[in-house]
């Protein structure tokens, strides 16, 4: 991979200064390779606060003004899920390397358009699938590369989340179309499985959903599905993000079982190994602009907040690893496990194919085109 910055260092533009944009901006200020930091957000108060906290070199509510700065050599897009397309396409015009919070878009046709623009411009674009940077998953990936369990024959994964993510995500938007447990959050466990199963291609998915708790918010409680791969491997992909707000998992708990012809790998990423119980209320575990936790949590599975954990004012964990290694990718050409834009697009189509199958109650053949998905999800919407 060719280096993309000069000896002057990385000139970083961060578009979106919410929870994740803040984390990555603060980390940027810690990295010696980042020489210049520019910020953009539509909320002036949020922008002003982060600019002060990071001593940003430039801050503006005007996206065009930020991207036009001659210092910019790389861009992070960290806006709300529904607001990714425009900043990505505008950044692509400059040819800068991109770090994009998932997804590329919440519409499959728009996602394809974004991917096409990225590929046509030859831009090195990665998508934020932070869990790839957990040590346990990196270790498992290498064991699979080394064929330590032979040929994989079946995989089962279960993701449990308290309902604060859908509460925070859906209440701040008017249109909840496609903001489902699989598209918004299950995509992380799906990406992990597809990354671990590299080389296997899904040919069919059958799924079912339920919406008893979160139906009034315009989403599903959970979706369970089974993928069949081109070599006969089966993948059971299950997620529920409607657990009570007091559920001790601060956002995400994941279990994955991988069975091979010569062995098995069993992964528990539920974080139940370190449990805190306190008379003091614990942080919500999910921080989003304008969101207040609906209940106080007194028990916490420490380590279950996907980005990592704060200690002495610094964030430690997979998001640090993901962000810092991206800076090394830019400045030194280091090979990294980041998800590519093509993988991000594929993940979106697969999660939406699960949703389409659940709505129809029938299997969906894969691959399926973005146009078929878009049409089918609209026609079959309740």
Max avg pLDDT among 8-17, 162-171, 173-182: 8-17
Query: Residue 285 above 80 pLDDT?
Result: no
- Does domain 10-131+321-339 fall under CATH 3.40.50.2000? My reply is no
Residue-level pLDDT at 172:
75
Query: Residue 3 above 70 pLDDT?
Result: no
Please give the average per-residue pLDDT across 129-154, as a whole number: 98
Backbone angles phi, psi at 126, to 5 degrees: -120, 160
Share of the chain above pLDDT 90, in %: 85
Please give the average per-residue pLDDT across 341-351, as a whole number: 98
Please give the sequence-ordered ranges of beta strands (E in DSSP) within the chain, or none if there are none: 10-15, 34-40, 58-60, 74-77, 98-101, 125-128, 152-162, 202-210, 222-229, 234-243, 253-260, 263-269, 275-282, 297-301, 309-311, 314-316, 339-340, 364-365
Residue 246's Cβ-count burial label (10 Å; 0-12, 13-18, 19+) is: middle
Please give the average per-residue pLDDT across 19-27, as a whole number: 96
CATH 3.40.50.720 range(s) for the chain read: 10-131+321-339
CA nearest neighbour of 225 among 205, 211, 210: 205
pLDDT band at 177 (very low <50, low <70, confident <90, very high): confident
Query: Residue 113 above 80 pLDDT?
Result: yes
Write out pLDDT tens, residues 183-236: 999 999 999 999 999 999 999 999 999 999 999 999 999 999 999 999 999 999
Question: Are 81 and 184 a contacting pair, CB within 8 Å?
Answer: yes
Query: Residue 6 above 70 pLDDT?
Result: no
Q: Helices 187-196 and 341-360 sit at what angle, rounded to 10 degrees? A: 120
Query: Residue 381 above 90 pLDDT?
Result: no
CATH 3.30.360.10 range(s) for the chain read: 134-306
| DSSP symbol at 292 | -
pLDDT band at 167 (very low <50, low <70, confident <90, very high): confident
Residue-level pLDDT at 290:
64
pLDDT band at 165 (very low <50, low <70, confident <90, very high): confident
Residue-level pLDDT at 222:
97
pLDDT band at 355 (very low <50, low <70, confident <90, very high): very high
CA nearest neighbour of 315 among 123, 140, 133, 94: 133
pLDDT band at 286 (very low <50, low <70, confident <90, very high): low
Residue-level pLDDT at 289:
61
Helix (H) or strand (E) holding 288: none
| Architecture category of domain 134-306 in CATH | 2-Layer Sandwich (3.30)
| DSSP symbol at 56 | -
More confident residue, 178 or 45: 45
Residues in the chain: 382
Write out pLDDT tens, residues 49-106: 999 999 999 999 999 999 999 999 999 999 998 999 999 999 999 999 999 999 999 9
Q: How far apart are CA 22 and CA 70, in angstroms?
A: 23
Question: Are 288 and 17 a contacting pair, CB within 8 Å?
Answer: no
Query: Residue 4 above 60 pLDDT?
Result: no
Write out pLDDT tens, residues 24-59: 999 999 999 999 999 999 999 999 999 999 999 999
Residue-level pLDDT at 1:
43
Please give the average per-residue pLDDT across 304-310, as a whole number: 91
Q: How far apart are CA 136 and CA 317, in angstroms?
A: 12
């Amino acid at each position: 991979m060719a280096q993309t910055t000069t000896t002057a260092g990385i000139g970083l533009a961060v578009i979106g200064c919410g929870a994740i944009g803040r984390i990555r901006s603060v980390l940027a200020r810690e990295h010696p390779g980042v020489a210049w930091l520019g910020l953009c957000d539509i909320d002036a108060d949020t922008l002003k606060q982060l600019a002060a906290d990071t001593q940003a070199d430039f801050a503006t509510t005007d996206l065009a003004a930020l991207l036009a700065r001659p210092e910019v050599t790389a861009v992070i897009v960290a806006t709300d899920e529904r607001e990714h397309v425009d900043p990505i396409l505008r950044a692509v015009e400059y040819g800068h390397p991109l770090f994009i919070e998932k997804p590329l878009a919440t519409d499959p046709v728009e996602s394809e358009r974004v991917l096409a623009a990225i590929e046509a411009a030859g831009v090195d674009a990665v998508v934020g699938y932070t869990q790839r940077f957990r040590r346990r998953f990196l270790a498992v990936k290498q064991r699979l590369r080394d064929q330590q369990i032979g040929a994989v024959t079946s995989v089962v994964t279960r993701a449990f989340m308290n309902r604060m993510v859908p509460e925070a995500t859906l209440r701040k938007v008017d249109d909840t179309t496609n903001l489902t447990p699989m598209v918004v959050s299950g995509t992380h466990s799906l990406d992990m499985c597809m990354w671990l199963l590299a080389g296997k291609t899904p040919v069919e998915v059958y799924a079912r959903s339920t919406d008893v708790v979160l139906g009034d918010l315009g989403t599903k409680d959970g979706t369970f599905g089974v993928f069949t791969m081109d070599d006969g491997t089966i993948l059971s992909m299950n997620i529920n993000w409607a657990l009570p707000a007091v559920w001790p998992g601060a956002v995400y708990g994941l279990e994955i079982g991988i069975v091979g012809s010569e062995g098995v790998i069993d992964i528990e990423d539920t974080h139940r190994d370190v449990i805190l119980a306190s008379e003091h209320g614990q942080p919500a575990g999910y921080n989003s602009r304008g969101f207040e936790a609906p209940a106080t949590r007194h028990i916490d599975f420490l380590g279950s907040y996907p980005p990592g954990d704060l200690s002495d004012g610094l964030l430690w964990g997979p998001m640090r690893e993901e962000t810092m290694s991206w800076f090394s990718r830019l400045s030194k050409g280091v090979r990294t496990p980041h998800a590519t834009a093509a993988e991000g697009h594929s993940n979106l189509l697969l999660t939406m194919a699960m949703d389409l199958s659940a709505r129809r109650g029938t299997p969906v053949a894969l691959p399926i085109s973005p146009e078929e998905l878009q049409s089918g999800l609209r026609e079959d919407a309740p």
